Homo-oligomer: A and B are copies of this chain.
């Protein structure tokens, strides 16, 4: 039979588990007309009214060059509003349509995250998430 030489590599497993979760999240969000990165930006704006797009970029590690068209799409769809805070920055807040969408968005994320942990015994889920946090925010 064929041998999978990668199946014990945590890096490979992280990649496969993450890629699978991202694909499922994308499918969940498609009916809302959102891609995963757009949805995560909306969650950040909701939690931080008047945040600027450069601050979001630093938080989510999205380069400014990539934030620009992403935010422009959300503004074009009137999901967010931009208010000048000084001559070069704009504070971002959810527009009415964005607040409406946010409720569905939050539910989809909640179900998605539960689905990921679902395969682990309930007693190990918190430990798993904590280890991931250790790896990320070391």
Contacts and interface: CB of A to CB of B under 8 A. Distances in A.
B134 A120 contact: yes
Interface in A124-138: 124-125, 127-129, 131-138
A119 B41 CA distance: 28
Contact of A6 (B8, B9, B44, B125): B44
A13 B129 CA distance: 8
B10 A132 contact: yes
Interface stretch (A47-55, A64-72, A77-85, A88-96): A47-55
A15 B21 contact: yes
Contacts of A113: 9-11
6 contacts: A6-B60, A11-B116, A14-B17, A14-B18, A14-B21, A128-B128
Complex A-B, nearest 4 residue pairs according to Cβ-Cβ distance, in ascending order: A18-B18, A13-B132, A5-B47, A14-B18
